[in-house]
Copies of this chain bind each other. A is one copy, B any other.
Amino acid sequence: MTALSTRELAELVGGELRGQGTRLIADVAASDAAEAEHVTFLDGVAAEGRPRTNAGAVLLAAKHLDVLGADSNADLIIVSAPLDAFVKAMLHYRPVAAAPTVGVSSSANISPLATLGDDCHVFPGVTIEDNVVIGDRCVIHPGAYIGTGCHVGDDVTIYANAVLYPTMLLGDRVIVHATAVIGADGFGFQFLDGQFVRIPHTGTVRIEDDVEIGAGTTVDRAMIGETVIGAGTKLDNQVMIAHNCRLGQHNAFASQVGLAGSVTTGDYVRCGGQVGVADHAHLGTGCSVGGKAGVHGTVPDGEDYHGYPAGPAKETYRIAMAVQKAPEMRKQLRRLEKQVQELQSRLAESDHLRAHAPAA
């Protein structure tokens, strides 16, 4: 948290200094909020906007050296990956707070049949039910609920008021944000005698290592078997994963995405915000689905899909462009119809004239 000269800062982030190197930098800041004592960074998007900044130091790529213009008198630090360098600087100035040292609170409701690993922190108001097994160095925040028979790995963080229904399986380094709900019964009913009768959901949810589950996100348990969130996958807030979905590794879903039942995904799948995916659809490895798209069927590996109904981005874009012209097309059609009618009459007249031409 100590201030650094821009020379020291350049060393810290492994960058090349352009400037005196003597300015003192006390903190990080966004480019538009930065003052002389701040270091900021320029990524590609920001650089395009030709931003002005009052920052005392700027981390940027060599190709953007000219972007700031002559009126900037910041010390520049050239790095290959400005965001990475900025994160390094941020971690210097704002070190991650030491894990809370509450230990296991006596105000938590912990079943004597539950097992906790070493160095866990369990806050007041937490409930941990029978036969729960929790690994080492986990932090369970106030109001979190861990149902009977859940298995939780090492270094897991569960934030306030998150809920794990019974029998959930969580790997290592999983993060579950506040009010997320893992393992509610899937939305499956039989329709008998005019009523919906719940199908018991006796399956579970398996959340693999390094998954992050956003605030308010819900992942339903499988009817039988498992709903799976593959290792390294990140789900933003208010995402819905229905029963029996099986997500691959390193997916990234933005906020308010909804997957219906039994959807499967490959690895490295990305979904923009508010995407909806119909039941039994498949999102192939490395594909991406644009915000608000509605997917049925299969998105092939590596493809970029957009729109509703979703299709290949290029095609969807062409269609969207054409649709913008639909009113004009209607006008063209009316004009053409008129012109064709005119031609028809003229031709008929012309034929008539010829047919009845007076013998010369």
Contact = CB atoms under 8 A, between A and B. Distances in A.
B260 A240 contact: no
A92 B224 CA distance: 14
Nearest to A321: B327
Interface in A151-183: 159-161, 163, 165-166, 177-179, 181
A2 interface: no
Contacts of A329: 322, 326, 329-330, 333
Contacts of A254: 187, 260
Nearest to A348: B346
Interface in A254-292: 254-256, 258, 260, 272-274, 276, 278, 280, 291-292
A255 B240 contact: yes
B124 A124 contact: no
Interface in A198-214: 198-200, 202, 210, 212, 214
A127 B109 contact: no
Count copies of this chain in the complex: 3
Contact of A33 (B190, B212, B225, B250): B225
A312 B274 CA distance: 22
Given A142-B145, A196-B250, A240-B238, A181 B178 contact: yes
Contacts of A292: 276, 294, 308
A107 interface: yes
Contact of A159 (B97, B163, B202, B250): B163
B87 A190 contact: yes
A58 to B, nearest CB: 14
Interface residues of A, number: 113
A79 interface: no
Interface in A66-81: none
A291 B278 contact: yes
Contacts of A340: 336, 339-340, 343
A230 interface: no
A139 to B, nearest CB: 13
A224 to B, nearest CB: 5
A337 B340 CA distance: 10
A242 B215 contact: no
Given A292-B294, A322-B326, A343-B343, A200 B143 contact: no
Given A179-B216, A276-B292, A325-B326, 8 more contacts: A90-B202, A96-B200, A109-B124, A159-B184, A179-B181, A258-B274, A329-B329, A353-B354
Chain A to chain B: the 6 pairs with minimum beta-carbon distance, closest first: A322-B326, A145-B160, A127-B142, A163-B178, A181-B215, A184-B215
